[in-house]
């Protein structure tokens, strides 16, 4: 059993995580999160509802799968436990928590897109709201940063291989 110094192990892992395929995966997933957050709050998509958002997310993931192809699927299936954990954390980060409807009955004024940092159940979050200035902080869609980071790291671990 070979013992490698911990700084060397960390450097190797960071080098693997900065590979092109990991960066492409992270970029594609970030685009999915941004589109999902925008659709969740944009007024023109209010009629879609929670089920429509879930279907849209599945549709976007299906498009991602078609574009990326079987190569990523093969890499993810080799380490399916790590992949599953990554998808779970990624889902927790992007889903609206708590899963409830927010109604701003007394909110009036010009509606515009607000993006701000917030604190939520899972720590720091980026909140997105499309409401009047006074009501933007009442019920935004939050993207949880801590689960998102953990999900990214698990998925990066799944698509990279140990280099001996």
- Convert the pLDDT of each residue in 9-59 to its tens digit: 888 878 887 888 788 878 888 887 888 788 777 777 666 665 666 676 677
Residue 120 phi, psi (nearest 5): -135, -165
Do residues 22 and 110 make contact, with C-beta atoms less than 8 angstroms apart? Answer: no
Cα–Cα distance measured from residue 147 to residue 135, given in angstroms and rounded to the nearest whole number: 26
Question: With a threshold of 0.85, does the pTM exceed it?
Answer: no
In the block, tokens 């700084």 appear at 7
Pull the structure tokens for residue 85.
Answer: 């954990």
CA distances from 129 to 39, 58, 115, 137 (A): 11, 22, 7, 7
| Range of 129-133, 135-139, 147-151 with top mean pLDDT | 147-151
Of all helices (H) and strands (E), which one includes residue 17? helix 6-17
């Amino acid at each position: 059993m070979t013992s490698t110094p911990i700084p060397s192990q960390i450097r190797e892992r960071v080098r693997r995580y900065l590979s092109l395929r990991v960066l492409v995966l992270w970029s594609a997933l970030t685009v999915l999160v941004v589109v999902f957050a925008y659709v969740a709050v944009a007024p023109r998509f209010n009629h879609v509802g929670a089920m429509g958002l879930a279907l849209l997310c599945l549709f976007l993931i299906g498009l991602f799968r078609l574009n990326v192809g079987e190569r990523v699927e093969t890499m993810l299936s080799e380490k399916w436990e790590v992949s599953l954990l990554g998808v779970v954390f990624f889902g927790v980060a992007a889903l609206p928590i708590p899963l409830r409807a927010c109604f701003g009955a007394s909110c009036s004024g010009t509606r515009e897109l607000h993006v701000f940092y917030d604190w939520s159940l899972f720590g720091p979050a980026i909140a997105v709201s499309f409401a009047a200035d006074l009501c933007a902080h009442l019920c935004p869609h939050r993207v949880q940063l801590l689960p998102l980071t953990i999900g990214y790291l698990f998925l990066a671990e799944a698509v990279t291989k140990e280099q001996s």
